[in-house]
Chains A and B, each alone.
Chain A
């Protein structure tokens, strides 16, 4: 039996926050990089620095190509409307664009910030350095109206084409009551529908070539195999796909905007619904980020409970993936067996939390409740039950020759392509690249657990499925270790800013009653600062980039989701496929539209 001692656990920390600035200026002397100031209070240790917008392209050239170990992945790109921010440094202007880049060789991230004045919301595009910056820049334009010079095709991505205004601006209304009541008269409906019509010329596609007239097939937003409201327009020659344009935004709920008007605590249920199959896995990066800002240390028992439930949701999500992947290929039965397994596991989740798919169970500083009596029997039964079922599915799905025929060498991409397009999670590991955040940058106590990182080698649909299947077995291992090593102690930190606040002595002394009253009614006030925390979620790396302005609500909530990046690379892998291959590929990518659109 593996002994797990959480007291030895230490979260991963990046080294050399300053060294990277020196390294860059050593390569390019004329670059002026200014380090962050104390007032910004960036508490994650991602090296961050500012650059003038005129030098952005030059800096990106260095960072992407000229450094010895370049930052080859554009991990995230976001903007911040700083106009209403109270605690801001002198070099911060009206808008900030923040580039989050990653080097796998160094195992180091870097955050580059550019200040923009509201009279000149223009910036050079970085699409020529990182192809996947394309969608991120479109999103920033969509949300903030910042124009990127040199972008291939800057247009709306999450909002409908007919939308007026840029939603994440502080001036844009955040509540329905601040706007006119919504109506959709018939003439407006016609306009909206017309705006949805696909015009190949706009996307630089030809309607025909010498030999053929292409067919443009509108797959989605409602289609049995697009797993949600996702539209992909295919340019086809017969059944072969010549090119395609993914169109997202049908599931956009403005989760980031909601973050700006929910208290730190009451935003937790919203996070559950980002990757709606991930349950508490979504709470994880969010509460970690808030805890980091507030300086809360989570007790060991809460850590283990969190890991255990998060791994349960990894299994739940992967089981659904497994079944739907088989179903997309045409095997009707596996999903029903897997739903039985999910049902059993949901039973355990329900016993723990009272809810099933969206428990919203993590709290700032710990979890909502202690585990119920007899939880260990429930979990032990399941730990003994699932591996046998997985063995059966192995025969039914993975060894099935038709499934192999449909998925081996279909929808393959290389490690390099995966990194170029920002792919993370099982999709990246299926290419044979061993990079799991839980191993490379342990968080929340994962460093004390014994598990392996399953790898594929071809990066095709089959490998993506294989990696997930093996991950379920590893999750079982982790859950078993949690089961055998559950520490005693509190399930929530003793800290005034935990939610809901400690109530034990409220009726005895006024000094506890007042903070309790204030923290319950207003919610905790989190110190001003900035933080980004990430977890290895079910579909890849998911993270929250939070900026607090010292208030009861977040000033900016940026959600980095894995599925967004994964969908962007679809045109690359689907070219030359048959329609049926595309369906298998879509199934194997395992995205959730709520995760893409937020």
Chain B
């Protein structure tokens, strides 16, 4: 009877995917609470601490509130696109998680071109913001959408270039193999510049302060999601927080050895936990950034990208290639 087990494999994948989605979404929701609580602490105040112990049930309360809101589509908007935009965003981020290797045994897909898949999904996610800005047919939303388009298109370039060093050194686009290639030492040792560019581009991709220009609430009220409310607004929020998690996960996978840890530490906790710990570290970093930095101006952001980030990424790639050719690394 065992020869038919292979037929169950697709079923097993479906289970894995559903488990992952049903975990990721609550995680993203909890992240909202974590962020508000951490920012509160860093700003010498409490943050949400009423619902449940330490306010941990706040996401649930938020969810209930958001479900109870009127699902309003402005009459002046392009209805179909307006509804589609937040879905595109959430789907793209969730799809990217498919290629993330969580631990030696967990991971939806070991796609050969995992890294490229991630980059492609990140590019597609721009449509969410741009279409939202366009379909809202409101001026603030359009300005936000315009900013998002310019910002994401430029930072995508550096993001792609920054990880090429990793690909050069590991010789693969498969994320699981990239992690395994770091068994002897994390890539951050040689790819520090690449990591720096990747992280900044990642913040820009996820529209977080200091790169939150598409929504810049002090300038554009709420930018691209000005007209959104209820569940559709929640979807934008969800994709933002999933985006934060994704960028953190990718930083860990590409530069910090994924689930790998040096030996004395590795045996203390299962690999999955190490992976989660590392991700949490970066997520906290994202939150801390938000509390501490002001926002650059739109043109300053773009010129910083093209004048600093692009040369850095290129230089990194060039030096890596040279060193590789010389057999030094």
> Of A328, A333, A579, A581, which one neighbours B143 at CB under 8 angstroms?
A579
B293 x A225 contact (CB < 8 A): no
Please indicate the chain A residues that have their CB under 8 angstroms from the CB of B296 in the complex.
Answer: 402, 405-406
| Chain B, Cβ-Cβ closest to A332 | B291
- Say yes or no: is A354 at the interface (Cβ < 8 Å to chain B): no
- Say yes or no: is B159 at the interface (Cβ < 8 Å to chain A): no
A330 x B293 contact (CB < 8 A): yes
| Chain A, Cβ-Cβ closest to B292 | A333
Q: On chain B, which size bracket covers the interface?
A: 20 to 34
- Say yes or no: is B264 at the interface (Cβ < 8 Å to chain A): no
- Say yes or no: is B71 at the interface (Cβ < 8 Å to chain A): no
Please indicate the chain B residues that have their CB under 8 angstroms from the CB of A331 in the complex.
Answer: 292-295
- State how many angstroms separate the Cβ of B248 from the closest Cβ of chain A: 20
Please indicate the chain B residues that have their CB under 8 angstroms from the CB of A400 in the complex.
Answer: 293-294
A329 x B295 contact (CB < 8 A): yes
- State how many angstroms separate the Cβ of A337 from the closest Cβ of chain B: 6
* B interface SS class: helix
Please indicate the chain A residues that have their CB under 8 angstroms from the CB of B210 in the complex.
Answer: 330, 402
> Of A225, A402, A578, which one neighbours B294 at CB under 8 angstroms?
A402
A581 x B297 contact (CB < 8 A): yes
- State how many angstroms separate the Cβ of B127 from the closest Cβ of chain A: 21
For residues 302 through 353 of chain A, which have their beta carbon under 8 Å from a beta carbon of chain B? 326-333, 336-337, 340
> Of B139, B209, B216, B220, which one neighbours A332 at CB under 8 angstroms?
B209
In the assembled complex, the Cα of A333 lies from the Cα of B217 at a distance in Å of 15
In the assembled complex, the Cα of A131 lies from the Cα of B219 at a distance in Å of 29
B294 x A330 contact (CB < 8 A): yes
| Chain B, Cβ-Cβ closest to A216 | B139
- Known A-B contacts A224-B221, A405-B300; the reply to A333 vs B42 at CB < 8 A is yes
Please indicate the chain B residues that have their CB under 8 angstroms from the CB of A330 in the complex.
Answer: 209-210, 212, 216, 218, 293-295
Please indicate the chain A residues that have their CB under 8 angstroms from the CB of B217 in the complex.
Answer: 224
Please indicate the chain A residues that have their CB under 8 angstroms from the CB of B294 in the complex.
Answer: 326, 329-331, 400, 402-403, 406
| Chain A, Cβ-Cβ closest to B45 | A336
- Say yes or no: is A580 at the interface (Cβ < 8 Å to chain B): yes
In the assembled complex, the Cα of A328 lies from the Cα of B297 at a distance in Å of 12
| Chain A, Cβ-Cβ closest to B213 | A580
For residues 195 through 218 of chain B, which have their beta carbon under 8 Å from a beta carbon of chain A? 209-210, 212, 216-218
- State how many angstroms separate the Cβ of B278 from the closest Cβ of chain A: 26
Of listed B45, B140, B293, residue having the most chain A CB within 10 A: B293
- Say yes or no: is A223 at the interface (Cβ < 8 Å to chain B): yes
- Say yes or no: is A486 at the interface (Cβ < 8 Å to chain B): no
A333 x B295 contact (CB < 8 A): no
For residues 5 through 60 of chain B, which have their beta carbon under 8 Å from a beta carbon of chain A? 39, 42-45
A327 x B218 contact (CB < 8 A): yes
A336 x B44 contact (CB < 8 A): yes
- Known A-B contacts A217-B139, A406-B296; the reply to A336 vs B43 at CB < 8 A is yes
A402 x B293 contact (CB < 8 A): yes
In the assembled complex, the Cα of A238 lies from the Cα of B300 at a distance in Å of 16
A579 x B218 contact (CB < 8 A): no
A-B contact count (CB 8 A): 79
A223 x B221 contact (CB < 8 A): yes
Please indicate the chain A residues that have their CB under 8 angstroms from the CB of B292 in the complex.
Answer: 331, 333
- State how many angstroms separate the Cβ of B37 from the closest Cβ of chain A: 14
> Of A218, A327, A332, A340, which one neighbours B290 at CB under 8 angstroms?
A332
- Say yes or no: is A199 at the interface (Cβ < 8 Å to chain B): no
B218 x A583 contact (CB < 8 A): yes
In the assembled complex, the Cα of A239 lies from the Cα of B39 at a distance in Å of 31
- Say yes or no: is A215 at the interface (Cβ < 8 Å to chain B): yes
- Say yes or no: is B70 at the interface (Cβ < 8 Å to chain A): no
Please indicate the chain B residues that have their CB under 8 angstroms from the CB of A225 in the complex.
Answer: 218-219
Please indicate the chain B residues that have their CB under 8 angstroms from the CB of A217 in the complex.
Answer: 139-140, 143
Question: B212-250: contact bitstring with A at CB < 8 Å (1 yes, 0 no)?
Answer: 100011111100000000000000000000000000000
- Known A-B contacts A330-B210, A340-B44; the reply to A579 vs B219 at CB < 8 A is yes
- Known A-B contacts A217-B139, A403-B294; the reply to A578 vs B209 at CB < 8 A is no
B299 x A578 contact (CB < 8 A): yes
For residues 563 through 598 of chain A, which have their beta carbon under 8 Å from a beta carbon of chain B? 578-581, 583
Please indicate the chain A residues that have their CB under 8 angstroms from the CB of B209 in the complex.
Answer: 330, 332
Of listed B39, B209, B218, B221, residue having the most chain A CB within 10 A: B218
- State how many angstroms separate the Cβ of A49 from the closest Cβ of chain B: 49
In the assembled complex, the Cα of A224 lies from the Cα of B220 at a distance in Å of 9
In the assembled complex, the Cα of A195 lies from the Cα of B299 at a distance in Å of 36
| Chain B, Cβ-Cβ closest to A335 | B43
Please indicate the chain B residues that have their CB under 8 angstroms from the CB of A405 in the complex.
Answer: 296-297, 300
- State how many angstroms separate the Cβ of A18 from the closest Cβ of chain B: 53
Please indicate the chain B residues that have their CB under 8 angstroms from the CB of A340 in the complex.
Answer: 44
In the assembled complex, the Cα of A331 lies from the Cα of B212 at a distance in Å of 12
In the assembled complex, the Cα of A578 lies from the Cα of B217 at a distance in Å of 15
- State how many angstroms separate the Cβ of B36 from the closest Cβ of chain A: 12
Question: A339-372: contact bitstring with B at CB < 8 Å (1 yes, 0 no)?
Answer: 0100000000000000000000000000000000
Chain A: residues with CB nearer than 8 A to chain B? 215, 217-218, 223-225, 238-239, 326-333, 336-337, 340, 400, 402-403, 405-406, 578-581, 583
18 A-B Cβ contacts within 8 A?
A217-B140, A223-B221, A225-B219, A239-B143, A330-B295, A331-B292, A332-B209, A333-B42, A333-B43, A336-B43, A337-B44, A400-B293, A405-B296, A406-B294, A578-B299, A579-B220, A580-B295, A583-B218
Give 10 A-B pairs besides A580-B216, A583-B218 with Cβ atoms closer than 8 angstroms: A239-B143, A329-B218, A330-B294, A333-B43, A402-B210, A402-B295, A403-B294, A405-B300, A578-B299, A580-B298
